[in-house]
Amino acid sequence: MLILGLDPSLSCTGWGIVRTQGSRITHIANGQIATSPRAAHADRLAQLYQGIVAVIAEHQPERAAAEEVFVNKNPQSTLKLAQARGAVLAACGTAGLPVNEHSARLVKKAVVGTGAADKAQVQAMLKVLLPGVSLAGADAADALAVAIADAHISPRI
């Protein structure tokens, strides 16, 4: 099964695809969709939507997984994150992909073994779990972690 992991953000949405075969997980691809802060807000959301549509068309995943929304101290930041997440999830819905949602803490626990892991620990574990992987960036690494966690948490969905 191919799983698309997503780390939505208005500035840079990460994506990662893994293949599961029984308990084996292999890396297929990962990347980031960056938007310009100078672009109109609607254009940035459209770029995220179109970018994920293109990833889905190219790799044909069977399901997707995304981190649940977390609330920032700044309500404007939370709103922008939610809008970016909506654009990304709409792309999945348009393609007919089921989407599982997991908390950041659960993703870290599934990948590293502790929900309090930092980004460096997650990236180090990704290199252990996916030997030879070349990460497109921190957001792509987070998306791969979501995909791996989903493979462990929701193996039959």
* Active site members: 7, 67, 139
CB atoms within 10 A of CB 99: 15
Q: What share of the chain is helix, strand, coil (3-state, %, to 5)?
A: 45, 25, 30
Beta partners for residue 25, in sequence order: 20
**Token digits for 155?**
């193996």
142 is in an annotated binding site: no
Cβ atoms of 141 and 117 closer than 8 Å: no
139 is in an annotated binding site: yes
Alpha-carbon distance of 100 to 116, in angstroms, equals: 21
67 is in an annotated binding site: yes
Binding region for Mg(2+):
7, 67, 139
Binding region:
7, 67, 139
